[in-house]
Structure 1
Amino acid sequence: MKKLHSVITFLLLVTTLFSFAQQKQQTAKVKVTGKVIEKSTNQPLEYASIYAQNTKNASIVSGGMTDAKGEFTFDVPAGVYYIKVEFLGFKTVEFKDKAINSNTNLGTIAVAEDSKQLDEVVIVAEKSTVDIKLDKKVYNVGKDMTVKGGTASDVLDNVPSVSVDADGNVSLRGNESVRILIDGKPSGMIGVNVAQALKQLPADAVEKVEVITNPSARYDAEGGGGIVNIILKKGKAQGLNGSVTGTVGYYKNNNINGNVNFRGENFNLFTSIGYNNSESPGNYTRNSEYTNPSPGSPKYIDEKRENERQREGHNANFGMEWFLNKSTSWTNSLSFSKNDGANPEDVNFYNYDENRNLLSIKNRFNNQTNNSRNFNYSSNLTKNFKKDGHKLTADISFSTNYDNDISTISETTLNSGSLPIISGTLNNQKQNRSLFQTDYVLPIGKGQFEAGYRGDFSETLTDYKVEENIDPNTNAGTINPLFTNNLQYKEKVNALYTQYGNKVGKFSYLLGMRFEDTNVDVNLLTTSDFNNKRYNNFFPSAFLTYEIAEKSSVSVNYSKRINRPRGRFLNPFSNYSSNLSYFKGNPDINPSFTDAFDIGFMKQWSKLTFNTSAYFNSTKNSFQFIQRESGTFVDGTPVIESTPINLATEYRTGFEFTLNYTPYKWWRLNGNFNMFRNETQGDYKYTNYLGNEVVQNFDNVAFSWFARVSSKISLPYGIDWQTNATYNAPQKNAQGKSLGIASANLAFSKDVLKDKGTISLNVNDVFNSRKRIFDSNLPQAITHTEMQWRQRQINLSFTYRFNKKKTEKERPVKNGGDNGDDYIGG
């Protein structure tokens, strides 16, 4: 572990120092600006390359690359230049003997498509895996070979600042209070169970991921830790084109995903279809020492669990973008996913006395099956006015999700001759969600005004039932009222926002205010316990940026956030795999509020982009998971329950940096490092099963960090080699600590069939080390837990592209669903 830590640290330091050493001092003379658009659509062309060479002194070379608005700027000494604008798939535009003696605007440059692909442009136009911007980081999935054949959960685990633990829980900068969006919207699929939904979404359906650590007022206020926005693939290129990717794997991972697009003059049709059939073995170990066991009860219990998640899934998306006229487009899409699976769990409990003598072995076999269905319809209307950037968008979406689990649990004491005890669980969930949104953008001089409305309405119904002592002959049993309930959750959120940004010299600002009215019903139908919670809040945001130099800037940001409890956080019972420890939701938990501050610095060189930030979050009513005795016993052994509560205050302070470095054309490096301090303050009081009041002090200060390095090297014979390494350091809390975990992914790929096909081989979790390891210290028990959701996975994939180049630049879709902040005061 120490060696890995040293290697990662050394690599990051050497990379940074080496890059800085290569930089030459340049004296800016005059500024060259302009904008590049596509001639056929008048749309901005991002990542176009601008090259300028002095005709009298060939050693003086400069240039730049266009941003999301198609704009570029760079500095050159005064003189006469040969300038060319180029992008793969488009004809090169040239300016010969162009005199640049003062600040010069080349105007709007329209480039036309070219059927001939220029090989020498490929290196210039190739998009880096991670694009770093001041307000967000954009991770381009198409360049990552290590996620081929994987899921959206694998994709997020490679994104800078994002971590995914062994349970599939997503955290941003170490904070699990993160909002997950799909195409800028809270998908019904995501709303029920985030971790499970991400494991059902294939990685090949994801185009890119946006990480927004401190969102502006335009975004949902949900997510105290920030927002992770998953952008799905949509067809954009002219004519008929598409691709198909097939994967086989060990352990079993057979899937095929395809996307087809047909773009005409007035419309764009796109579709994607996928199929997956996989088996993912996992394991779980929990060793417990009970401090004061009942007479005759075990002193030590070692729990060993093996399971195999089996899934067969289908997903499809159909859509059409209709260009009503030159300024108006209407996009409609319909998506469907179906997933059927099983998760047989074989659990053995080894019971020992105080001398570690084996008393008995109990086996608990949980035969779990599940199925889910997800439907989603969305529509977007975009109206662009005459002035560049002046537009109005309207979005609606409707989604329905069904998620049903059935388990039959058989418990037997081995070698005792006793008959098995059979019980069963039923967990049915249904969610309906409706979303209405409109956004208006108006450029005013150099500034920009925005305003909008968003209405998000959802209803979730959870029916959970536990049946015990089932007769194998009649299938009749006894309902356990402690674990049987019917929960209805309704949420209505109406929001209004406005923001204005401008740029004055080198200083820019973006000020916003969001108002959200929340109306929540949490109803336990089984016990007729109805609770309504209504609150409305203002969420201000402020972003200030100063350009120190042409490609160097510093920013100070603030926003107020909210984190609403949902799903398993509220369900009074949601797991029955182990009868000695389980998770229990808390229907009385309240939302938490976060004040988020961020100070950032970004610097770009020709081969290096460096972004760093220091952040501070103060959260009131923060969610914390506590473990306590439930008051029930199994053969004299106390059952421990884990549940979320509102703890008084949480302070999170941290520092992170992200860098993209290209030392050579054949080698690209991405690095991300995050270190944070987490402090909680608060006491938890409860009355135990004996009627005694128990006070637990949760005052705790914890330091932790994680680092991720990704390296992509172009080897001889057209082979690409990519390696990702991640380390999550240990972290303490008031009831124990999680141990440090290191893991790595490895991938190779090669283009074949004249670059129409690509073969990829990847190994996910090379050292089979990605686990969640946790030690806890409770008054009743001292435990050591290890959980591995999926063991090492090897995948072989083949992608075939028709009428579409591997490095082809796709046309931006006029779709307001991304809900991105393209404008930050400039």
Structure 2
Amino acid sequence: MKFFKILTFLSVLISTFSFAQQGNKVTLSGKIIEKTSGLPLEYATVTIINPSTSKPVSGGVTDSKGEFKIDVSQGSYNIKYEYISFKTIEIKGKNISSNTNLGTIALEDEAQQLDAVEIRVEKTAVDIKLDKKVYSVGKDIMVRGGTVSDVLDNVPSVSVDSDGTVSLRGNESVRILIDGKPSNMGNINDALKLIPAETIDKVEIVTNPSARYDAEGGGGIINIILKKGKNQGINGTFVASVGDPRNTGVSANLNFKQEHSNFFTSIGYNNRSNPGNTKIDQQNFDQNGALKSILNERRKNNRFGEGLNANFGIELLLNKSTSWTNSLNVRSNKGGNKENVLYYNYDALNQYLNTRQRYNDLQSTSENVDYSSNFVKNFKKDGHKLTADISISQNSDNDNSTIEGIILDNNEFVSSERTRKNDKQQRNLFQVDYVLPIGKKSQFEAGFRGNYVKNITDYQVEERKTASSPFTNIDEFTNILEYNENVTAVYTQFGSKINKFSYLAGLRFEDSKIEVNQLTSTIFKTKKYNNLFPSLFLTYEINDQSSISLNYSKRISRPRDRFINPFASYTSNVNLFQGNPDINPAYSDAFDLGYLKKWEKLTLSTSLYYNHTTDSFEMVRKERGDFVFTPVGTPDVIVNGEIVTVNDGEDIKTPVIVNTFFNLGQNDRFGFEFTLNYNFKKWWKLNGNFNFFNSQNTGSYTYINSKNEEVFQSFNRNATTWFTRITSKVTLPYKIEWQTNATYNAAQKTAQGSNKAIAAMNLAFSKDVLKDMGTISFNISDVFNSRKRIQDIQLPNTNSHSEMQWRRRAFTLSFTYRFNKKKTDRDQKPKQNNNGNGDDEFMG
């Protein structure tokens, strides 16, 4: 309640400020562009100087359109126009007696040098805006030779944990888009590890999206924008990289632009190996709390992959106001994971008994084809346009694994299984957006979006009872699931600016139809629901350098096929994952209070946020009976990590644990975040991000176990944690660039234990060669080999300590060559709107 009182007070305060009067002042306005391309220059500086004292009396920076407005008292001034790496223009003795439009000012590019340090001042890698953050991948030498997962792990507000799961402000319920469209590559976290970083232009982070965006994603939206060349003539970039562990890759980004057309292509090949390891020390106790056995597990993974990514496109300028872009994206990847697990077994006195080995050889292939078409019609009035988008994509993922288990001490057979999973997905997306400016300070928008997905998963598990017997099917796991998701949406929003106060109000309607067809068991379930998703954004410009905003939006998180398949997926015969076909979507109300302040060398963005989620997803572990088998020829056997002494032929029983999802009562997440860019010197840039949040669950789960007993589990918990990331980029003598990235994730309590803190650092160096047409880069990922997920878990009969490292420290050397394209060239913005998810919000 206190939080809502604060929001109400600030809302009233903002409204009051909007009626403040400026007194006897006049307004200067104008626009600053780049002379060679005519593109607007965002964040260019305008300084109003008193000619008698040579001291600034006022000033401001340009917006995304290159425009500025500055309030000054009447008088005579010198006016200076500046933008880093461009020649400064100064107009002296300008007499200002009334509101004056200074027209369009064109700045020319300029390179500077100071002593032995070359100053190549370029726009910061992180562009902070009030409604979102834009991360330019090309500015970051840390990710060269890496993947999209590496890119996201450098983006403010975003973190990628040790197994590749992406979260935004600590919230894993985040929507990840590629060019404004949902990915069609199956598991998105796995897909991000396959796409080379060199194919990415920038990443947009929208923590509280408006009605224009999909309502999917309770934690916000991450939009990954692929490169599309826009420079005039024939130009491009080639990148080659090698690394240890194995990281070989080559890529090319080319485009050929003429007056009425632009051909662009990106082609990349990579061959990678990511060795990792896991350590688990587990103590097992009996019902009286006495130590019964000790299990030490050591796991080594060797994940590998080889992939080809190609994108071909053409943009046709049909006339001065109409463009049509078509592109075809093809991805082909094959790889796998060779996992060797050793279980060292000890008795209650810590005396060695034996070692069991479990070897899993996983082979996988993935094929993805995506066709996109974008049509843009610009009308006579600036900003008045109509866009239409079509995207048709198909994806196929095939996984095959063989799992063998033996006792190493005597080579005794334990188990032999093999699994097969064939996943096919088709996605059709259609979208139309219309934007109509009304007057000079208002804008109306409306649009339609249809997203239709069909996914079929064919899953099979087989086993053999002895080393020489044939494989037989396990009916409990083998199944075919068809999942269809059809979401049709329409939206409208209206924004306007009144003096320094602006607002954007929107409403989105989504009609959802979800079909879960379990073809093997003939279970057919259809869920239909429709929802309204309102959004409201209020902004007050305190002055030209600072703004404050108050935002609200309603979001949804839909359960996917894995969450709702009633058939269990096989990890072992006593530890299963099973979906819940009755699980419902979760709904979130997101509030965000933001403040943006710009100084000459510093940009600061702060945010106070609160998310209230109902029916949030939570995983529960429950037992569903015993697994029974009869050992032969040994008095001591290992069952689920425990030593059991039996007579020959005696049945052994061990509980089967099922992991499944259910709808929790609610989750409340409250946090504070700030992001800053600091140009400490012309040769030194700093970027920092800090996020503190508290997550509180309220809810419980009750089920009937195999003994017909009612089991109650409380999921009430309160967890607080924080993380921070600091990036430093320094230009050293001899044209060497040095970048350091340091992250710290604080410790966090969980429902069953705690996660330890993680500190890690990356380093990168680069040097330009061949008259600045080439660049050599060297980076070290995880310098201290410390990026590990360390957990302590306490259960009624088990205590365990685990350390999991998804991949170890890596070294990468890369070479970049550019032709007909300078390092400081700024690509023109695409005329397409990335399916409504790439444009700036209208905030006046």
Q: What SS does structure 2 have at the residue aligned with 1:188?
A: coil
Asked whether the equivalents of residues 241 and 249 of structure 2 are also in contact (C-alpha less than 8 Å), the reply is yes
Segment of structure 1 superposing worse, 599-608 or 98-107 = 98-107
Mapped pair 1:611 → 2:608: no
**2:590 corresponds to which residue?**
596
1:93-132 mapped onto 2 (5 Å cutoff): 95=91, 97-109=93-105, 118-119=111-112, 126-132=122-128
Task: Give the Å deviation of 1:64.
Answer: 4.9
Which one of the candidate residues 687, 690, 698 is aligned to 1:681?
698
**1:457 corresponds to which residue?**
452
Asked whether the equivalents of residues 748 and 761 of structure 1 are also in contact (C-alpha less than 8 Å), the reply is yes
Once residues 434 and 418 of structure 2 are traced to their aligned partners in structure 1, the CA distance between those partners, rounded to angstroms, is 53
**1:551 corresponds to which residue?**
545
Aligned CA distance change for structure 1 residues 642 and 791 (closer, same or farther; 3 Å): farther
**2:3 corresponds to which residue?**
none
One-letter code aligned to 1:820? G
Task: Give the Å deviation of 1:84.
Answer: 4.7
1:70-81 mapped onto 2 (5 Å cutoff): 70-74=66-70, 78-81=75-78
Asked whether the equivalents of residues 131 and 841 of structure 2 are also in contact (C-alpha less than 8 Å), the reply is no
**1:708 corresponds to which residue?**
725
Mapped pair 1:662 → 2:679: yes
**2:840 corresponds to which residue?**
822
Once residues 453 and 168 of structure 2 are traced to their aligned partners in structure 1, the CA distance between those partners, rounded to angstroms, is 25
Once residues 320 and 51 of structure 1 are traced to their aligned partners in structure 2, the CA distance between those partners, rounded to angstroms, is 42
Asked whether the equivalents of residues 88 and 808 of structure 1 are also in contact (C-alpha less than 8 Å), the reply is no
Aligned CA distance change for structure 1 residues 805 and 100 (closer, same or farther; 3 Å): farther
One-letter code aligned to 2:841? Y
Q: What SS does structure 2 have at the residue aligned with 1:769?
A: coil
Segment of structure 1 superposing worse, 640-649 or 480-489 = 640-649
Q: What SS does structure 2 have at the residue aligned with 1:717?
A: coil
**2:392 corresponds to which residue?**
398
Q: What SS does structure 2 have at the residue aligned with 1:155?
A: helix
Task: Give the Å deviation of 1:697.
Answer: 0.5
Task: Give the Å deviation of 1:59.
Answer: 4.2
**Identity between Structure 1 and Structure 2 (%):** 57
Once residues 93 and 668 of structure 1 are traced to their aligned partners in structure 2, the CA distance between those partners, rounded to angstroms, is 25
Once residues 123 and 390 of structure 1 are traced to their aligned partners in structure 2, the CA distance between those partners, rounded to angstroms, is 40
TM-score, normalising length: structure 1: 0.91
Task: Give the Å deviation of 1:97.
Answer: 4.6
- CA offsets, 1:237-277, max 9 Å, x none? 11111101111001010001110011100011100000000
Once residues 443 and 403 of structure 1 are traced to their aligned partners in structure 2, the CA distance between those partners, rounded to angstroms, is 45
Which one of the candidate residues 293, 312, 315 is aligned to 1:318?
312
Asked whether the equivalents of residues 123 and 665 of structure 1 are also in contact (C-alpha less than 8 Å), the reply is yes
- CA offsets, 1:365-395, max 9 Å, x none? 1011000001000010001111111111000
Asked whether the equivalents of residues 686 and 695 of structure 1 are also in contact (C-alpha less than 8 Å), the reply is yes
Once residues 637 and 462 of structure 1 are traced to their aligned partners in structure 2, the CA distance between those partners, rounded to angstroms, is 30
One-letter code aligned to 2:461? V
**1:736 corresponds to which residue?**
753
Asked whether the equivalents of residues 557 and 587 of structure 2 are also in contact (C-alpha less than 8 Å), the reply is yes
Once residues 216 and 124 of structure 1 are traced to their aligned partners in structure 2, the CA distance between those partners, rounded to angstroms, is 37
Asked whether the equivalents of residues 298 and 359 of structure 1 are also in contact (C-alpha less than 8 Å), the reply is no
Task: Give the Å deviation of 1:581.
Answer: 3.9
Segment of structure 1 superposing worse, 781-790 or 662-671 = 781-790
Aligned CA distance change for structure 1 residues 731 and 370 (closer, same or farther; 3 Å): same
Once residues 389 and 796 of structure 2 are traced to their aligned partners in structure 1, the CA distance between those partners, rounded to angstroms, is 53
1:145-294 mapped onto 2 (5 Å cutoff): 145-189=141-185, 192-292=186-286
Task: Give the Å deviation of 1:435.
Answer: 0.3
Asked whether the equivalents of residues 81 and 89 of structure 2 are also in contact (C-alpha less than 8 Å), the reply is yes
Which one of the candidate residues 794, 797, 802 is aligned to 1:777?
794
1:420-499 mapped onto 2 (5 Å cutoff): 421-445=415-439, 446-469=441-464, 476-499=470-493
One-letter code aligned to 1:291? F
Once residues 359 and 473 of structure 1 are traced to their aligned partners in structure 2, the CA distance between those partners, rounded to angstroms, is 26
Once residues 463 and 650 of structure 1 are traced to their aligned partners in structure 2, the CA distance between those partners, rounded to angstroms, is 34
Aligned CA distance change for structure 1 residues 117 and 672 (closer, same or farther; 3 Å): closer
Once residues 638 and 781 of structure 1 are traced to their aligned partners in structure 2, the CA distance between those partners, rounded to angstroms, is 14
Mapped pair 1:756 → 2:751: no
One-letter code aligned to 2:777? S
**1:24 corresponds to which residue?**
none
Q: What SS does structure 2 have at the residue aligned with 1:265?
A: coil
Aligned CA distance change for structure 1 residues 424 and 330 (closer, same or farther; 3 Å): same
Q: What SS does structure 2 have at the residue aligned with 1:481?
A: coil
Once residues 796 and 327 of structure 2 are traced to their aligned partners in structure 1, the CA distance between those partners, rounded to angstroms, is 55
**1:66 corresponds to which residue?**
62
- CA offsets, 1:177-208, max 9 Å, x none? 1000011111212xx20110010111111111
Asked whether the equivalents of residues 86 and 93 of structure 1 are also in contact (C-alpha less than 8 Å), the reply is no
- CA offsets, 1:295-338, max 9 Å, x none? x9963322221110110100000001111011011011000010
Once residues 278 and 54 of structure 1 are traced to their aligned partners in structure 2, the CA distance between those partners, rounded to angstroms, is 60
Task: Give the Å deviation of 1:107.
Answer: 2.7
Mapped pair 1:629 → 2:623: yes
Aligned CA distance change for structure 1 residues 686 and 779 (closer, same or farther; 3 Å): farther
Once residues 140 and 177 of structure 1 are traced to their aligned partners in structure 2, the CA distance between those partners, rounded to angstroms, is 24
Which one of the candidate residues 120, 130, 135 is aligned to 2:131?
135
Mapped pair 1:690 → 2:707: yes
Task: Give the Å deviation of 1:530.
Answer: 1.0
Mapped pair 1:518 → 2:512: yes
**2:382 corresponds to which residue?**
388
Asked whether the equivalents of residues 293 and 637 of structure 1 are also in contact (C-alpha less than 8 Å), the reply is no
Aligned CA distance change for structure 1 residues 215 and 87 (closer, same or farther; 3 Å): same
Mapped pair 1:408 → 2:426: no
Asked whether the equivalents of residues 460 and 488 of structure 1 are also in contact (C-alpha less than 8 Å), the reply is yes
- Greater C-alpha Rg: 2
**1:5 corresponds to which residue?**
none
One-letter code aligned to 2:177? L
Which one of the candidate residues 554, 568, 572 is aligned to 2:562?
568
Segment of structure 1 superposing worse, 616-625 or 66-75 = 66-75
Q: Which runs of 5+ in 1 are unaligned?
A: 1-26
Q: What SS does structure 2 have at the residue aligned with 1:510?
A: strand
- CA offsets, 1:635-685, max 9 Å, x none? 655444433221111111111111111121111111111111111011111
TM-score, normalising length: structure 2: 0.89
- CA offsets, 1:103-151, max 9 Å, x none? 422234467xx7x855479969611111111110111111111111111
Segment of structure 1 superposing worse, 560-569 or 216-225 = 560-569
Asked whether the equivalents of residues 666 and 713 of structure 1 are also in contact (C-alpha less than 8 Å), the reply is yes
Q: Which runs of 5+ in 2 are unaligned?
A: 1-22, 628-638, 640-651
**1:11 corresponds to which residue?**
none
One-letter code aligned to 1:455? G
Q: What SS does structure 2 have at the residue aligned with 1:200?
A: coil
Q: What SS does structure 1 have at the residue aligned with 2:760?
A: strand
Once residues 624 and 109 of structure 1 are traced to their aligned partners in structure 2, the CA distance between those partners, rounded to angstroms, is 56
- CA offsets, 1:498-538, max 9 Å, x none? 00011111111100000000000112111111111110000
**1:718 corresponds to which residue?**
735
Mapped pair 1:801 → 2:797: no
**What is the root-mean-square deviation in Å for CA atoms of aligned residues?**
2.7
Once residues 234 and 704 of structure 1 are traced to their aligned partners in structure 2, the CA distance between those partners, rounded to angstroms, is 39
Q: What SS does structure 1 have at the residue aligned with 2:156?
A: coil
- CA offsets, 1:781-809, max 9 Å, x none? 33333221111111011111111111111
Asked whether the equivalents of residues 477 and 569 of structure 2 are also in contact (C-alpha less than 8 Å), the reply is no
